[in-house]
Chain A
Amino acid sequence: MQALVVAAHGSHLNPDASSPTYAHADAIRETSAFDEVREAFWKEEPHFREVVRTLESEEVFVVPLFISEGYFTEQVIPRELRLEGWDPALWNSDGTDASQVTLEATDVEKTIHYCGPVGTHDAMTDVIVERAESVTGDPDVGDGVGLAVVGHGTERNENSAKAIEYHTERIRTRDRFAEVKALFMDEEPEVDDVTDYFESDDVVLVPLFIADGYHTQEDIPEDVGLTDDYRTGWDVPAAVDGHRVWYAGAVGTEDLLASVLLERAHDAGADVDDVVESEHVVGGDTDHDRKPTTTVGD
């Protein structure tokens, strides 16, 4: 038997923090690719400490639902899972390359395949692009349109910026969007000045965050100028300094993210070929679809 554990942050204060985790886990449950699928959290239950013991499977694939390598993926999750012999060097990564490492946990007799975070997987690039499509309602979006991939910046974790830049570069080389830029919340180039960095009239803003919360629903909309008061919402697109800015919150709510979880487990040796090959997992019930009121490029 094989199990998938989706390891996420969760929240003691905000019930919505875990919604994407549940939605993506459910989407994977629907595929029956794993005998067991569990959500696990740092701030909710089951906790990382207790999740593996709830499984009957001997092979457990743990995929962190985090954007970048860093404190949580390198210290907190492995420690709380009690991974024996864990060392971040085992991932042999310079910030965006972690794939997986196979270890035992000291409290259960199981094999744990500890995978890199979803945020740095190559398939995440497609999720960002899909978010640009869904927020504009245009499956071919790109021509004459600028794309801004937005992240925290290095203040908390230098790898966070690396992940943003990694995907930005990958999208740029596809030559699909007129312009592609990485912007940050706490360092230059700052997302507040988004319109200074783009010549295109239409700019799609995709924040590389797992869940919606303060940053994606309050900070960014106000700082970018989509609205004066986040509580009143904003238009999609919103007019800002002569540009039209398309924005709908954290990319982690995009349905396609479930397939990145699967890809991670697949890379780590999970027997999910059938599902991975049959293309996209149909996503769960996420609530990202703020329907646009205009057409991109109008």
Chain B
Amino acid sequence: MSADPIPVDAILEAAADGGIEFDGLRITAADDEYSLETPDLHRTAPSESVLRDILETIPASVTNWHYWQERVGGDGTARRAFLRWCERAPIAGGDDGLEHVSIDDPLTVSQRYAGLQEGIDREWGQLAITTRFRDLDDADTDGERVYDCWHVADADADVADLEVFDDPRDARAIATEDADGRYRPLKTAPTLASGWAFTGLSGDELVETVGFFYPATIANWHRELHGDLDISHWRETAARQTGIYDILEELPREALEWVAEACCVDTECLCRREWHYDEDDELAVDGGDGPFPCREPCSLVVAAARQWTILESERERTYELEVTPSELNQLSAIVDAVAEDRTDKIREADVGDGANRYRARYLRAKRFGADGLKAVERTNE
């Protein structure tokens, strides 16, 4: 395939029109003379045609500029920032001084152009995202990137073994059920099924795909990156509720710790929880360490917390029940197995496991009556 000419016209126009300062490429124009700098080069050009000649010797800088300024565009948008992040470029194109958990040392253009041959990898929740050149033969003179996206568990899989998609909307169906066919009401739960791949996506398509897998995560990450994530803490969220959620304000403070531990830790949700009880009243439970933040209690947590608010309104009582020490331990084992979603992994005949089905049935036969566990409420002695 013959190489297209390096797209220098647009960059010349931009150079003449106020100069360029982008991704290590700097061109200034003064008194009909141009000055051009890259990390490895410093030249002056007395005319546009000399500048053109110089630009043709640095195709990576030119096509990089072209890809970002002419193809991706969207200065200041979350879409552009995310695509920059995907190839480990400095987000704003210069030394932007941005500090964020998701950002490590950015790569220069020449480092990226080396990396994009094979592909530069990133992880976003359970998504593995690879940025690579669309056309390896003409990589330098083309500069066009494409993006592949698959499950982190399939990172080493052969694409031929995966179901391949190219329409971002297909992500919706993939995200709907977990590997066992159960509905996933929380998109950021770490239960995304594997076995698929989106290949050769454009930047816009990648952003759309990620938006279907993990809605609004890019937008909120981008806000956080720039220090303007609008966090709504629990009290504000509870106070806003109406209708059946009106009662949320009555949830005890300590119960919110248990809510966060139940729902928001990394084993349950990949969002990094940034909200607390209140701005100056932090929860002790770990919020996680993923790249994208959670800025307020989600609808699932709100709905579950409503249930807990109702349950927490009950008065505690003391019960007496007769069990052996092993049976007491078994109750813990059963709760543990359910809480860790382990019940379907306990083998049928593994009667050594307290949460085994036969063990549970035995306990029920022995200690449970028609109304459940046989226990007597202790009244005032």
Please encode chain A, from 73 to 106, with 1 for each CB lying within 8 Å of some chain B CB and 0 for all others. 0011001000000000000000000000000000
**Residues on B with beta carbons closer than 8 Å to the beta carbon of A51:** 215-216
Asked if A76 and B242 sit within 8 Å, CB to CB, the answer is yes
Q: Give complex CA distance A123, B324 in Å.
A: 69
Q: Give complex CA distance A51, B296 in Å.
A: 14
* Given A42-B299, A56-B74: A75 touches B242 (CB 8 Å cut-off): yes
- Least CB separation from A41: chain B residue: B299
Stretch at the interface among B136-144, B217-225, B331-339: B217-225
Q: Give complex CA distance A22, B212 in Å.
A: 11
Asked if A53 and B183 sit within 8 Å, CB to CB, the answer is no
Asked if A49 and B303 sit within 8 Å, CB to CB, the answer is no
Stretch at the interface among A8-16, A124-132, A271-279: A8-16
Asked if A14 and B183 sit within 8 Å, CB to CB, the answer is yes
Asked if B242 and A43 sit within 8 Å, CB to CB, the answer is no
Asked if A13 and B216 sit within 8 Å, CB to CB, the answer is no
* Given A22-B172, A47-B298, A107-B230: A15 touches B183 (CB 8 Å cut-off): yes
**Residues on A with beta carbons closer than 8 Å to the beta carbon of B28:** none
Q: Which residues in window 10-66 of A have CB below 8 A to B? A: 11-15, 22, 26, 29, 41-47, 49-51, 53-54, 56
Q: Which residues in window 286-305 of B have CB below 8 A to A? A: 296, 298-300, 303
Asked if B185 and A13 sit within 8 Å, CB to CB, the answer is yes
Asked if B185 and A12 sit within 8 Å, CB to CB, the answer is yes
Asked if A45 and B187 sit within 8 Å, CB to CB, the answer is yes
Contact of B243 among A11, A13, A47, A71 (CB under 8 A): A71
**Residues on B with beta carbons closer than 8 Å to the beta carbon of A41:** 299
Total A residues in contact with B, Cβ cutoff 8 Å: 26
State how many angstroms separate the Cβ of B145 from the closest Cβ of chain A. Answer: 20
Q: Give complex CA distance A26, B230 in Å.
A: 30
**Residues on A with beta carbons closer than 8 Å to the beta carbon of B242:** 75-76, 79
Total B residues in contact with A, Cβ cutoff 8 Å: 28
Q: Give complex CA distance A277, B172 in Å.
A: 31
- Least CB separation from B208: chain A residue: A36
Contact of B299 among A12, A22, A53 (CB under 8 A): A12
**Residues on A with beta carbons closer than 8 Å to the beta carbon of B169:** 22, 26, 29
Q: Give complex CA distance A50, B303 in Å.
A: 17
**Residues on A with beta carbons closer than 8 Å to the beta carbon of B223:** 53
Asked if A43 and B77 sit within 8 Å, CB to CB, the answer is no
Q: Give complex CA distance A45, B240 in Å.
A: 19
**Residues on A with beta carbons closer than 8 Å to the beta carbon of B77:** 56
Q: Which residues in window 173-217 of B have CB below 8 A to A? A: 176-177, 183, 185-187, 211, 215-216
**Residues on B with beta carbons closer than 8 Å to the beta carbon of A50:** 215-216, 219-220
State how many angstroms separate the Cβ of B268 from the closest Cβ of chain A. Answer: 14
**Residues on A with beta carbons closer than 8 Å to the beta carbon of B240:** 79
Asked if B219 and A53 sit within 8 Å, CB to CB, the answer is yes
Q: Which residues in window 138-159 of A have CB below 8 A to B? A: none
Q: Does any Cβ of A come within 8 Å of B84's Cβ?
A: no
Asked if A46 and B300 sit within 8 Å, CB to CB, the answer is no
Asked if A15 and B177 sit within 8 Å, CB to CB, the answer is yes
**Residues on B with beta carbons closer than 8 Å to the beta carbon of A26:** 169
**Residues on B with beta carbons closer than 8 Å to the beta carbon of A49:** 296
- Least CB separation from B169: chain A residue: A26
Q: Does any Cβ of A come within 8 Å of B273's Cβ?
A: no
Q: Does any Cβ of A come within 8 Å of B132's Cβ?
A: no
Q: Give complex CA distance A22, B220 in Å.
A: 23
State how many angstroms separate the Cβ of A55 from the closest Cβ of chain B. Answer: 9
Contact of A45 among B215, B243, B303 (CB under 8 A): B215
Asked if B216 and A46 sit within 8 Å, CB to CB, the answer is yes
Q: Give complex CA distance A70, B220 in Å.
A: 30
Asked if B183 and A54 sit within 8 Å, CB to CB, the answer is no
**Residues on A with beta carbons closer than 8 Å to the beta carbon of B219:** 50, 53-54
State how many angstroms separate the Cβ of A28 from the closest Cβ of chain B. Answer: 13
Asked if A12 and B220 sit within 8 Å, CB to CB, the answer is no
**Residues on B with beta carbons closer than 8 Å to the beta carbon of A42:** 299
State how many angstroms separate the Cβ of B292 from the closest Cβ of chain A. Answer: 12
**Residues on B with beta carbons closer than 8 Å to the beta carbon of A54:** 78, 211, 215-216, 218-219
* Given A56-B77, A75-B242, A76-B242: A45 touches B216 (CB 8 Å cut-off): yes
**Residues on A with beta carbons closer than 8 Å to the beta carbon of B216:** 45-47, 50-51, 53-54
- Least CB separation from A45: chain B residue: B215
- List 7 contacting pairs A-B, 8 Å CB cutoff, sorted by A: A41-B299, A45-B186, A46-B216, A50-B216, A50-B220, A51-B215, A79-B240
Given A12-B299, A76-B242; 17 other pairs, CB 8 A cutoff: A12-B300, A13-B183, A15-B176, A22-B169, A41-B299, A42-B299, A43-B303, A45-B187, A45-B215, A47-B298, A50-B219, A53-B220, A54-B215, A54-B219, A56-B77, A56-B79, A79-B240
A-B residue pairs, 4 tightest by C-beta: A46-B215, A50-B216, A12-B185, A45-B215
